[in-house]
Structure 1
């Protein structure tokens, strides 16, 4: 995940500076001109996949991490309602913090991905959505919430745009106003972002 994160971060910089979409083989980035080579990770040439696919690859690795490493914590949360927060740092290392009953909160560093466990439904609360907004501004790619059955994910598949942020803020207000489970589910139904932010829900088992 760390290597892929470095690739996608450099690709974003190239895209912004040269207005060219780099392609990738997930080991290197490829650009059309030597003048666009910014490091040893960048080569002249072209591959089939654009760098936008790297974000999905990061999510695939992260889902594997959640199933293998975070499932036991989610099961513990189901039993005692104590939430856990995990962060995958830019180095590729990860940390897990124990919170309180039905909440976990701490200052968040720059990182690749984060997840926290829920004792109930695996949907983001309005506070979770506020946190997601601040983390995307910091450069996070994946933000998730999970229980021991399922996981919901906000995935950034490009730069975090103002248009996507506005939709996320609108979702936060709908979730905040939700009084019942049906209200909460309705807030997420048909959720769509105009640019690069995506919402996914997966079964863990």
Structure 2
């Protein structure tokens, strides 16, 4: 049973949700409306984001986009519109992810959890930070050497470990579920290190198979193979490794 449950409502948690809805709109535009070369522009209002979008070619302009309507219901998105100017001034949605979301999410989530890594190091009690599609994060206190997440469909999560930052096979399974739900990633942080996997593009079947191989390397503690992943900085094509590990030593 979790002992602590704190809500985190900040710009960076909203950014994760904004990307989630923008990516959903991208799929809708391409698959349902024949959109070619979609571009998006995000205008940050006081409490939500306004989305402008454009397509180089489109069979018909949608009256509404289901994903962005859901974002409005969750008060992450204030509104949206088709704008011809966005074709020249907007960005590919994954540019939003790689230029804006990743940097801010990494710095803010690590900053938020760092004080709790010292508690975990001393007591073994783990803490988890998870962000949902309502644009809010939740800091959850778990138990010694484990944490049970009382929610599903997280878009991002980061949790503390007592001694190292290697994901467990269970952590990787949870991460794959997050990615298949169109979340951006997750990872582990301890007092001296962090290891976070965040996608840089769509999560593909090839990425999933590579993540399975990564999990197997962790399960069998194949140190040389794990260090190859660290050296490449990626697992598959679209899953980037963000870490301060130079290399992993045998435990």
TM over 0.5: yes
Distance (Å, rounded) in 2 between the aligned partners of 1:136 and 1:115: 14
Partners of 2:214 and 2:226 within 8 A in 1: no
Rounded to whole Å, the distance in 1 between the matches of 2:31 and 2:171 is 29
Give the paired residue count: 201
- 1:109 matched to 2:124? The reply is no
* Residue ranges of structure 1 left out of the alignment (5+ in a row): none
Written as runs of structure 1 = structure 2, the 5 A alignment for 1:25-40 is 25-27=41-43, 28-33=52-57, 35-37=60-62, 38-39=64-65, 40=80
**CA–CA distance in structure 2, aligned partners of residues 96 and 116 of structure 1:** 9
Shift of residue 33 of structure 1? Answer: 4.2
> TM-score, normalized by length of structure 2?
0.69
Q: 1:107 offset after TM fit, Å?
A: 4.7
3-state secondary structure, aligned to 1:25: strand
Structure 2 partner of 1:43? 83
Q: How does 1:50-199 map to 2 (within 5 A)?
A: 50-56=92-98, 57-178=100-221, 182=223, 185-186=226-227, 188-191=229-232, 192-199=234-241
Rg bigger for which structure? 2
In the other structure, the counterpart of 1:24 is 40
1:92 and 1:197, CA in 2 relative to 1: closer, same or farther beyond 3 A?
same
The TM-score normalised by the length of structure 1 is: 0.83
Quote the Cα distance in structure 1 between the aligned partners of 2:35 and 2:188: 34
How far does residue 168 in structure 1 lie from its aligned partner after superposition? 0.3
> How much does 1:62 deviate?
1.2
Deviation at 1:98, TM superposition (A): 1.4
> How far, CA to CA, are the matches of 1:144 and 1:29 in structure 2?
32
Gaps spanning 5+ residues in structure 2: where? Answer: 1-14, 44-51, 66-79, 246-251
